[in-house]
A and B are shown apart, each in its own frame.
Chain A
Amino acid sequence: MEFIDYYKILDITKSASQNDIKKAYRKLARKYHPDLNPNNKEAEKKFKEINEANEVLSDPEKRKKYDKYGKDWKHAEAFEQANQQQGQRQSQTGQRYQSGEYAGEDFSDFFESMFGGASGAGYRQAKFRGQDLQAELHLKLSDVYKTQKQTLTINGKNIRLTFPAGIENGQVIKINGHGTAGVNGGPNGDLYITFSIKNDTKFKRDGSNLHLTVDLDVYTALLGGEILVDTFDGKVKLKVAPETQPGTKVKLKGKGFPVYKKENSFGDLYITYQIKLPTNLSQEEKDLVVKLKKIRENGKS
């Protein structure tokens, strides 16, 4: 357990007045308040640190003890015993923020060791919102094509959730009230689920649009014809225009991925043709290609 320099955390000197502490604390709290930094673990950590620093330095009793023992905090116990006669805290600490993201009771080991916990008489009554929970859910792309009903076990509790089709990789959804239980009647925290979606298909996804490269034999490309193309939910027959060039793109409207939270609305499927040239030509084929080449050259001249 390491000594924590509360003055350094609040960026103030040891001679700072109560007003200086209040000002420094408010400035930092505005910067790192979890309501202003959603899903930012670094800010949450920093916010906890400045809250703890303020808890100590804004309370004259605690500050006195901290200043007296400081780095020598392990001997603070003797001080504690000597002062036990004084009973309850003599003064009310300064304002302490109870952010929605911050359970409030979460102090460092250093603090707990020196002051024996956060809660003086004044805080026992305080309501704290429960902490938010973060979870990651791994799904396959083919799973999120349709609306999913899943039962998740969070903190030993089974929660039945419905995830609308079309969720994106990396998307975060908030489930209200399914975080840690509140303290002293405070509201529960929320549950944040981050989706990690692995593409298990041959389609490339761009939001609700899908992309697929389809091989086309040279004869169909030249003469045109019909091919069967895979879509996400089956096959479709597609007409290929004569003299189709490599890289030609065809849009199949409404054959893409479901649009998130828009029922019966789908993106488009873009087919890119890749012309496959034949290999291992027979002598007869080679002769015909040569003939074709000559016809082409003569036609041009």
Chain B
Amino acid sequence: MEKASLIRVEHICECHHIEISFINSLVDFGLIEVIISENDQYIPEYQLNDVEKMIRLHHELNINIEGIDTIYNLLKRITYLEEELNSAKNKLKEFDIE
């Protein structure tokens, strides 16, 4: 298996001083996916930003996994609504409706 774009979960735990159980909980809640290869757990690189954000929310704001899940759902909704708003604004501009 190609491991160049995978990061070992253990390494992330060491760097951020977190327990592996935290990562496992994120996986249980469907917030992230891990890849298991040769008894080691890996996180795809594209998920690293999200994982680090979740670690910050947990450690810095004392938000539990349920809270992180809720926040992520709301952030996704905000992103969707922002895109809709942008698209509506563009439409109004294009069709000269103010």
Q: Which residues on A are within 8 Å of B, measured CB to CB? A: 26, 29-30, 33, 35-36, 38, 95, 97-100, 129, 168-171, 176, 187, 190, 199, 204-207, 211
**Min C-beta distance of B81 to chain A, whole Å:** 13
Are A170 and B89 in contact, with the CB atoms below 8 A? Answer: yes
Are B89 and A205 in contact, with the CB atoms below 8 A? Answer: no
Q: Which residues on B are within 8 Å of A, measured CB to CB? A: 49, 52-53, 56-57, 60-63, 71, 75, 83, 86-87, 89-91, 93-95
Q: Out of A38, A97, A199, A207, name the residue touching B75 (CB < 8 Å).
A: A38
Q: 25 A-B contacts, Cβ less than 8 Å apart?
A: A26-B62, A29-B60, A30-B61, A33-B57, A35-B53, A35-B56, A36-B75, A38-B75, A98-B60, A100-B49, A129-B52, A168-B86, A168-B87, A169-B90, A170-B86, A170-B90, A176-B49, A187-B52, A190-B49, A199-B94, A204-B94, A204-B95, A205-B94, A206-B90, A207-B87
Dominant secondary structure at the B interface: helix
Are A97 and B94 in contact, with the CB atoms below 8 A? Answer: no
Chain B: CB-nearest residue to A209: B91
Are A206 and B91 in contact, with the CB atoms below 8 A? Answer: yes
A-B contact count (CB 8 A): 56
User: How far is B61's CA from A203's CA once the two chains are assembled, in angstroms?
Assistant: 48
Are A206 and B94 in contact, with the CB atoms below 8 A? Answer: yes
Q: Given A199-B94, A204-B95, A207-B87: A97 and B49 within 8 A (CB)?
A: no
